[in-house]
C-alpha cells in the first residue's frame, strides 16, 4: 500500500487509510491541495481549485459524517460538470457569462455520497470538440511526461491531474474518445462505460447521441470503485438506463480465464505508428490472445461518427456562432461553423448506418468477449502541432487522434484503456472493448494486465 499522503496513493489506498483512521481526511485534502499548488505551473490541469469546500467536507468526514467506499478520496472533474456556485465553463469563455450552477452534477453527488471530496474543476478543450487538450482561453493542459507535449483531449486536465499525481481520481467525458485519448497519451487508466450506463445529468452537453461520462484513475480498482459508486438510474438523464446497478469490484480479481479475447485487425492496424501496434501486441501476448477479428465497416463508422458529431455539436452552438464568434477558441470556431453547414441528409444516413453497424458488431460478440485495439495512433504530439503523418498520409491532429476510438463510442460499447509505459519514452494506451453492459469483463482484463505488470499508471 502506498503512503495515503503521497502522489502515488490510489483512491483505494486513501479510502482504506481514512476508514481505519490511520490518516485524517483533512490531512489527505491538505496534501492534495499542496500537490496541486506545486504541480499546476507545469501541467495546468485545473481551472478552479475548491480549497474551502474541500477542507469543510474533509472536516465533516473526520467528524464522523459521510462514510462510504471512497471516504476521504480527493477527486476533480472536467469543467463541463456542474459545480454548485460556479459557471459551467465547458472549456469556453462564453459560458462564464452563463448561469451559475444551482447544484452539483449527478455524478459529483454520487461520488460525494460515497465519501469522496471534490477539490476542483479541470481544464478541457472548448465545448469538448477536441482531441488535443489545448485551449486558447485557459492555456493547454500539459502532459506530465513531457510538458512540451499534448495531454490529449478533450478531458486533458483529467488526464494530466491523475498522471501528475495531483489527485488519484478524475471524471471526464467521452463523446468520440475524450476519456480514452488523454488516458492513452498521459498513461493512466480510463473507463468509458456503456452509453447510458452513467447519468449525464448536470453536465454540459456536446453530442447527445454519443456523450458518455466516466472516471480516469491510477489503478483498475479505483476505476471499479468509482464506477460502482456512480451506477444507477437517474430520471434527470432521459438516456440513463434503468437496469439495476451491477457492482464490478468484487469480481475484479477473477482473472481472464473463460474470456474469449481477440485483437481488432484491418482498420485498427492501418494508419498507426509502430509504438501503438506494439502496445497492442504486448497486451495480447500477456492475455494469450491469438485470434484476430475484423470489425466490419469500422472506417464507415468513424466517418458516420464524425458527421453526427459535426452536425449535432454545431447545431447546439449555432446561436453563439451567430452572436459571439469572436469569443470562441479559434481552433473550434471554424470547425463548428463548417459543421453547421453540412447537409442534413448525411446526418440521417449516418444514423441509419449506425443501426446496421451495431447489429454487425453484436454478431462479433457471439464469438468473442473482448476486443483489443489501439487507443491512439501515436504517442503525445507536441503542443501546437497542427498536422501529423500517419501511414504516410498527412492529416490534422485535432480531427484524427480519435480515429480508433470513434468507431467504438459510435455504438456505445464500454471500453477500459490500459496504459502501457515505456522506460524513457512516452506512454500509449490499449482499448479493452467489451459488449454492452459488460464493463466488468473489460475491468477484469485490465486488472489482470496491471497484476502482470503490463499496464500501469506512471510513477508520479
Partner 1 sequence: MPENKPDIGRLVDEAAKAIGLPIAAHYRDKVILNYERSVAIAQPLLEIELDDELTPGPVFRP
Contact between 334 and partner 1 by CB under 8 A: the answer reads yes
Residue number with CB closer to partner 1 (138 or 210)? 210
Contact between 348 and partner 1 by CB under 8 A: the answer reads yes
**Cα separation of the two ends of the chain:** 15
Catalytic residues: 78, 154, 178
Task: Report in angstroms how near the CB of residue 276 gets to partner 1 at its nearest.
Answer: 20
Task: Report in angstroms how near the CB of residue 111 gets to partner 1 at its nearest.
Answer: 24
* Near partner 1 by CB under 8 A: residue from 50, 411, 420, 460: 411
Residue number with CB closer to partner 1 (103 or 349)? 349
The DSSP letter of residue 193 is -
* Near partner 1 by CB under 8 A: residue from 56, 352, 382, 389: 352
Total of residues contacting partner 1 (CB under 8 A): 45
Residues 217-256 that bind partner 1 (CB under 8 A): 239
Residue number with CB closer to partner 1 (141 or 173)? 173
Q: Stretches 122-130, 133-141, 339-347, 374-382: which one binds partner 1 (CB under 8 A)?
A: 339-347
Contact between 303 and partner 1 by CB under 8 A: the answer reads yes
Q: Which burial class, exposed, middle or buried, applies to 315 when counting CB atoms under 10 A from its CB (0-12, 13-18, 19+)? A: middle
Contact between 310 and partner 1 by CB under 8 A: the answer reads yes
d(CA 195, CA 354): 14
Task: Report in angstroms how near the CB of residue 325 gets to partner 1 at its nearest.
Answer: 7
Q: Which of 57, 50, 91 is nearest to 328 (CA)?
A: 91
Task: Report in angstroms how near the CB of residue 193 gets to partner 1 at its nearest.
Answer: 11
Residue number with CB closer to partner 1 (140 or 412)? 412
Contact between 346 and partner 1 by CB under 8 A: the answer reads yes
Question: Taking a C-beta distance cutoff of 8 angstroms, is the pair 187, 162 a contact?
Answer: no
Q: At what angle do helices 220-230 and 106-113 cross, to 10 degrees?
A: 110
d(CA 208, CA 266): 29
Contact between 307 and partner 1 by CB under 8 A: the answer reads yes
Contact between 27 and partner 1 by CB under 8 A: the answer reads no
Contact between 194 and partner 1 by CB under 8 A: the answer reads yes
Contact between 351 and partner 1 by CB under 8 A: the answer reads yes
Contact between 340 and partner 1 by CB under 8 A: the answer reads yes
Contact between 103 and partner 1 by CB under 8 A: the answer reads no
* Near partner 1 by CB under 8 A: residue from 93, 292, 324, 358: 358
Contact between 341 and partner 1 by CB under 8 A: the answer reads yes
* Near partner 1 by CB under 8 A: residue from 436, 444, 447, 448: 436
Q: Torsions phi, psi of 216, nearest 5?
A: -125, 140
Q: Is the dihedral of CA 300, 397, 208, 325 positive or negative?
A: negative
Question: Taking a C-beta distance cutoff of 8 angstroms, is the pair 178, 128 a contact?
Answer: yes
d(CA 306, CA 211): 13
d(CA 285, CA 307): 36
Sequence-distant (6+) residues with CB within 8 A of 140 are 44, 123, 132, 133, 134, 150, 151, 156, 383
Contact between 294 and partner 1 by CB under 8 A: the answer reads no
Contact between 333 and partner 1 by CB under 8 A: the answer reads yes
Residue number with CB closer to partner 1 (356 or 389)? 356
Task: Report in angstroms how near the CB of residue 334 gets to partner 1 at its nearest.
Answer: 4
Write the Ramachandran bin of 428: left for phi over 0, alpha for psi from -120 to 50, otherwise beta.
beta
Q: Is the dihedral of CA 391, 393, 399, 403 positive or negative?
A: negative
Q: Is the dihedral of CA 357, 362, 365, 370 positive or negative?
A: positive
d(CA 124, CA 399): 16
* Near partner 1 by CB under 8 A: residue from 98, 325, 384, 425: 325
Cell numbers found for residue 145: 511526461
Task: Report in angstroms how near the CB of residue 337 gets to partner 1 at its nearest.
Answer: 5
Q: Which of 356, 342, 355, 333 is nearest to 307 (CA)?
A: 342
- Residues lying near partner 1 in the complex (CB under 8 A): 194-196, 209, 239, 297, 299-300, 302-304, 306-307, 310, 318, 321-322, 325, 333-335, 337-342, 346, 348-356, 358, 396, 399, 411-413, 436-437
Amino acid at each position: 500500500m502506498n503512503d495515503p499522503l503521497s502522489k502515488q496513493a490510489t483512491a483505494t489506498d486513501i479510502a482504506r487509510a481514512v476508514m481505519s483512521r490511520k490518516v485524517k481526511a483533512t490531512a489527505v485534502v491538505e496534501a492534495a491541495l499542496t500537490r496541486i499548488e506545486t504541480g499546476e505551473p507545469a501541467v495546468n490541469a485545473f481551472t478552479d481549485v475548491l480549497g474551502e469546500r474541500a477542507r469543510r467536507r474533509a472536516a465533516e468526514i473526520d467528524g464522523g459524517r459521510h462514510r462510504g467506499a471512497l471516504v476521504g478520496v480527493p477527486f476533480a472533474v472536467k469543467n463541463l460538470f456542474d459545480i454548485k456556485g460556479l459557471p459551467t465553463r465547458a472549456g469556453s469563455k462564453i459560458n462564464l457569462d452563463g448561469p451559475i450552477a444551482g447544484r452539483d452534477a449527478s455524478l459529483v453527488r454520487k461520488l460525494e455520497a460515497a465519501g469522496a471530496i471534490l477539490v476542483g474543476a479541470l481544464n478541457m478543450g472548448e465545448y469538448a470538440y477536441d482531441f488535443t487538450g489545448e485551449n486558447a482561453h485557459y492555456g493547454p493542459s500539459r502532459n506530465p511526461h513531457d510538458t512540451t507535449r499534448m495531454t490529449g483531449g478533450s478531458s486533458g486536465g483529467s488526464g494530466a491531474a491523475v498522471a501528475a499525481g495531483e489527485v488519484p481520481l478524475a471524471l471526464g467525458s467521452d463523446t468520440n474518445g475524450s476519456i480514452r485519448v488523454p488516458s492513452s497519451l498521459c498513461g493512466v487508466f480510463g473507463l468509458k462505460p456503456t452509453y447510458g450506463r452513467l447519468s449525464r445529468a448536470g453536465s454540459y452537453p456536446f453530442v447527445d447521441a454519443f456523450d458518455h461520462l466516466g472516471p480516469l484513475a491510477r489503478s483498475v480498482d479505483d476505476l471499479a470503485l468509482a464506477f460502482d459508486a456512480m451506477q444507477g438510474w437517474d430520471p434527470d438523464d432521459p438516456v440513463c438506463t434503468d437496469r439495476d446497478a451491477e457492482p464490478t469490484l468484487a469480481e475484479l480479481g477473477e482473472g481472464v480465464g473463460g474470456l474469449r479475447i481477440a485483437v481488432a485487425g484491418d482498420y485498427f492496424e492501418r494508419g498507426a505508428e509502430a509504438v501503438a501496434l506494439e502496445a497492442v501486441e504486448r497486451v495480447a501476448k500477456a492475455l494469450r490472445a491469438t485470434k484476430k477479428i475484423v470489425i466490419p465497416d469500422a472506417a464507415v463508422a468513424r466517418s458516420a461518427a464524425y458527421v453526427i458529431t459535426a452536425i449535432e455539436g454545431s447545431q447546439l452552438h449555432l446561436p453563439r456562432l451567430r452572436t459571439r464568434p469572436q469569443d470562441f477558441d479559434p481552433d473550434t470556431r471554424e470547425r463548428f461553423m463548417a459543421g453547421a453547414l453540412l447537409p442534413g441528409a448525411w446526418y440521417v444516413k449516418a444514423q441509419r448506418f449506425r443501426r446496421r453497424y451495431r447489429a454487425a458488431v453484436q454478431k462479433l460478440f457471439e464469438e468473442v468477449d473482448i476486443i483489443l485495439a489501439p487507443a491512439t495512433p501515436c504517442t503525445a504530439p507536441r503542443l501546437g502541432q497542427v498536422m501529423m503523418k500517419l501511414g504516410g498520409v498527412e492529416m490534422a491532429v485535432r480531427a484524427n487522434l480519435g480515429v480508433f476510438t470513434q468507431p467504438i463510442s459510435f455504438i456505445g460499447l464500454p471500453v477500459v484503456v490500459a496504459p502501457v509505459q515505456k522506460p524513457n519514452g512516452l506512454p500509449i494506451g490499449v482499448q479493452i472493448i467489451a459488449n454492452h453492459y459488460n464493463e466488468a469483463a473489460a475491468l477484469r482484463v485490465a486488472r489482470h494486465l496491471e497484476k502482470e505488470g503490463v499496464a500501469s499508471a506512471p510513477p508520479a
